[in-house]
Amino acid sequence: MEPIKIIIVDDHTLLRKGLSQILKEYKHLEVIGEAADGKEFLKLLNSLTPDIVFMDIKMPNLNGIEATKEALIKNPALKIIALSMHEDEEYVESMIHAGAKGFILKKAGVDELLKAIEVVSSGGNYYSSDILSLFTKKINAPKENDQILLNAREKEVLKLLCKGFSTLEIAEQMLLSPRTIESYRTNLLEKTNSKNTISLVLYAIKNHIVSVMTE
């Protein structure tokens, strides 16, 4: 089995090198490149094809938000996990709308880093519990009659998406075909006017359809 190829983008050399050293200890992971800012990262994409990118947000020359947008234009299948020092709502939402598949804080332990890689590489989305808590504190949920009406199946699919399960994993749990799950996901995106799965998760949190994940 091929190792998961990773690029680390962060303007703090110690953090970048430290994260790289940690990940290199695992045989199923391979750090294939590092960059100190968004421009360096985009140049790397001309010659490297990573499976996962850990992307800092606040960087000189080209920040993580703009770098994510440009990278996904080059390679829409790229899976980017945002890194941040702080639980800043504006940065979180900006990275979500830019297309990031996950968001973790730099204070995260090794177990959480590995979990984020596992979930995102398998097609899911991963969010630090601190990040999810931020939104539950900041947002007042609308009244029940103001919410979009979702049927039981749609809610079940949404809850599993929020846990980071891939389409195939959800299909196996619900004893349905992957195509049927994709159809439910498409309907959920349309009904909630969401851009991507991460936006769906935020919708679910805002409307108390799911509780904050703590694992």
> Which of these, 94, 172, 80, lies nearest to 126 by C-alpha position?
80
Q: Where are the beta strands (DSSP E) in the chain?
A: 4-9, 29-35, 52-56, 79-84, 102-105, 126-127
Q: For the packed helices 167-174 and 178-192, what is the interaxial angle rounded to 10 degrees?
A: 110
Identify the pLDDT of residue 138: 53
Task: Give the model's pLDDT for residue 129.
Answer: 75
The alpha carbon torsion through 13, 19, 21, 27 (nearest 10 deg) reads -150
What's the confidence (pLDDT) of residue 96? 78
How large is the average pLDDT for residues 97-117? 89
In this prediction, what percent of the chain has a pLDDT beyond 70?
87
How much is the pLDDT for 169?
Answer: 82
pLDDT band at 13 (very low <50, low <70, confident <90, very high): very high
- The residues near 74 (Cβ < 8 Å, ≥ 6 apart) are 42, 45
Comparing 18 with 161, the larger pLDDT belongs to: 18
pLDDT tens-place string over residues 123-148: 777 888 777 666 655 544 444 444 57
Selected residue with higher pLDDT from 63 and 77: 63
Q: Say which residue, 4 or 161, is predicted with more confidence.
A: 4
**181 within 8 A of 170, measured Cβ to Cβ:** yes
pLDDT band at 61 (very low <50, low <70, confident <90, very high): very high
Q: Which domains does the chain have, with CATH numbers?
A: 4-136 (3.40.50.2300), 141-206 (1.10.10.10)
Q: Name the nearest CA neighbour of 95 among 198, 12, 15.
A: 198
